[in-house]
Amino acid sequence: MKWILSISIMASFMIACNGQNKSEEQEMDLEVKKTEEQWKQELTPEQYYVLRQQGTERPHTGEYNLHFEEGVYTCTGCGAELFSSDAKFESHCGWPSFDKALDQNTVVEKLDRSHGMIRTEIVCAKCGGHLGHVFNDGPTKTGMRYCINSVSLGFEAEKEEGKTESEK
């Protein structure tokens, strides 16, 4: 009898700690909807791992970790504008950090119970791609630290008024 109880407790724990599941993604009203096969064809293996499988890139390896040009950071999966360079700061955590999203409707916060932790996952509101996590330990006025995988981001540099990139 004890082993039946142990098995059902373990099963309940595994279900509760599983984090995201496809039904949650289906509940989101996503503007960009693609099959997993389409995502695999359009994204690099690393982008697919992070954006579609809730993976994480190694710290201090991402293109945008120590990147401080002026412009807008976009979603690699769909091109949605997510974060302004004005919100970016160096947090020394190894991933690009921002203190707020560009707009409250650009990212969606979801409870993440994976890996035995309770965190807040951030996904793109347009395509549902995993971006990273948000924590309430930021050093700026907002107190937030959006810790984002570089591989989830693209970047559009701010253009000088009236000049093209080649005229700068």
Active site residues: 147
Question: What is the C-alpha to C-alpha distance for residues 146 and 133, in angstroms, rounded to an integer?
Answer: 6
**DSSP character for 114?**
G
Phi, psi angle pair for 8, to nearest 5°: -70, -30
User: How many Cβ atoms sit within 10 Å of the Cβ of residue 100?
Assistant: 18
Which amino acid appears at position 85 of this protein?
S
